[in-house]
Amino acid sequence: MGTQQAFGHLDADCFYASAERVRDSFLIGKPVGILGNQGACVIAKSYEMKKAGVKTGTPIWDAVRLCPQGVYLKRDFRWYEVLSRCMLDLVRDCCAAVEYYSIDEFFFRVTPSTSLQAMAEALRDRIFRELCIPVTVGIARTKTLAKLVSDTAKPFGAIALLDRDAERSLLEQSPVTAVSGIGLRRAARLEPHGIHTCLDLIFADRKLVRSLITRSGEAIWWELQGDPVLPLHVTRPPHKMLSRGGSLGVAASDPLIIDAWLARHTERLVEELEYHGVVAGTLSVYLVYKDGREGLARVPLDSPTDRYAALMKAGHQCLDRLVSAGSAIQRLHVTASRLQRPGFVQRSLFEPPEDPREADVASLKREVNAALGRFCLRSGATLPLLEVYRDSAGHGYEICDVHGKTCF
C-alpha cells in the first residue's frame, strides 16, 4: 500500500463553528450556530446543534426553539479565511501538489513515500495540534473516491482506503447522491435504470451514464472505477470578470443614495482588482428595479484601469442609461470584465497619461485602510450610507468579499 499513487481529500469538520472555538474556548462542547448575513438563518452549526435538530438554513426563530441552550454567532468570513490559509500552508507543507477546493476543503496528491494510513492520520493530527481545527482526511485512488471516503469518515476521521474489497463495499453502501456532482435531479434520471448506489453506477454502461448525466457524470463513472480523470487544479485559472454588489436593503430612487451604493460597490471592486493584480477593460452596471425589472449597461474604459475615479465615471455613464427620474432600485452590481495584468496592457497612442495624483490617492486609501480598518478612508459619495458603514457587525465585510472562498 505504501507505494501507491493516490489522492487525498481534507475537509474541516463543522468549519465555521470550529473556527469560532479556536478563538473562544468557551464554545468547545457547546451547541454553536453560525448566522448568515442578516442574522436570520443558521448557515453552519456544530454537531451538538445538529443533534438538536437545527439544519443549515433553519431560521433563527426556529433554531432558538429547537436548541434554546445554543450559542448563536454572526459569521466572520475574514477570520475563517485566515484559518483556511493556515490550513492550506500546513497541507502544502506535507504534500507536493494541493488544490484549494473551498474555504475548508483541499485535494492533494499523495507522495508515495510512507504508509498512506499513517500519512492521513499524521495530517489530521498536525492540523488539530497546530490550529485546533478538527478535520477529516480521506485517501483513495481518485479525487472522487477520496471525497467519498472523507465524507463517510466524519468527524475527525482519517482513512486511506485503497483495498479493492473495502472500496467496493463503500460504493455499495453509498447512494449516488453521496457523490459530489450527483444531486437529486441527476439521481432521478439514473433511478429508472436501477442505478441507486455508487456500485450500481460503476456497473452501468458508460455510454448510458453519459447520455443520462452528461460528460461530467461520465467522469464520475471513471473516477468511481478508480481511474483518475479529474485533474488536480494546483493553480486557479485567471478570472474572466470580477463583480461586487448586492441588495440596497430598502429600495432607493434618490440619485444621491443610488450614487452612494455605486461608490460603495466600486470601492469594493477596486479592492478586488488590486487583490488579484488585474485592471479592467470594461465596466458594467446591473440593476434590479423595485418592480422586478432588470437593466444592464456596459461601458468600455478609455484605458484598462483599477482606479476608482475612472471606474466611477464609467459607472455613472451606465447609470445615466439605466435610471430615469423616480425609478426605484432594489439591487445594484458593478462588474469589471476584459481583465488584464497591468504589464500586458496595450496602451493606445492617443491615451492621456494617468494623473499621478490618482495613484497617490489609491495608495493612501490602501495604506490607511490597512492600518485603521476597511472603509475608514472612503469616497465622500458614500456619505448618505452612514448607517450602513456604522453597522460594523453587519456590513463591515460582505459574504462575497472573501478572497479564495472558492478555488483559486
Which spans of this chain sit near Mg ion (rule: CB under 5 A)? 11-12, 15, 104
Nearest approach, Cβ of residue 185 and Mg ion (Å): 24
Nearer to Mg ion, 12 or 199 (CB): 12
What's the CA gap between 385 and 281, in Å, rounded? Answer: 28
Between 12 and 209, whose beta carbon lies closer to Mg ion? 12
Residues 6+ apart with CB under 8 A from 292: none
Least distance (Å) between residue 344 CB and Mg ion = 37
Closer CB to Mg ion, 12 or 332, in the complex: 12
Cβ–Cβ < 8 Å for 197, 170: no
- Residue 128: CB minimum distance to Mg ion, A: 14
238 secondary structure, DSSP code? P
Distances (CA, A) of 226 to 105, 143, 222, 232: 21, 9, 7, 15
CB of 45 or CB of 276, closer to Mg ion: 45
Local structure of residue 59 (DSSP, 8 states): B
CA 362/CA 305 separation, integer angstroms: 12
What is the grid cell recorded at 63? Answer: 433554531
Shortest distance in whole angstroms from residue 48 CB to Mg ion: 16
Per the CB < 8 A criterion, the answer to whether 229 and 210 are in contact is: no
CB of 267 to Mg ion, least distance (A): 32
Rg of the chain's alpha carbons, rounded to an integer? 25
Number of Cα atoms under 13 Å in the Cβ half of residue 14: 25
What is the signed CA dihedral for 342, 347, 351, 353, rounded to 10 degrees? 50
Which is closer to Mg ion, CB of 181 or CB of 249?
Answer: 181
- Which residue lies nearer to Mg ion by CB, 73 or 362? 73
CB of 148 to Mg ion, least distance (A): 14
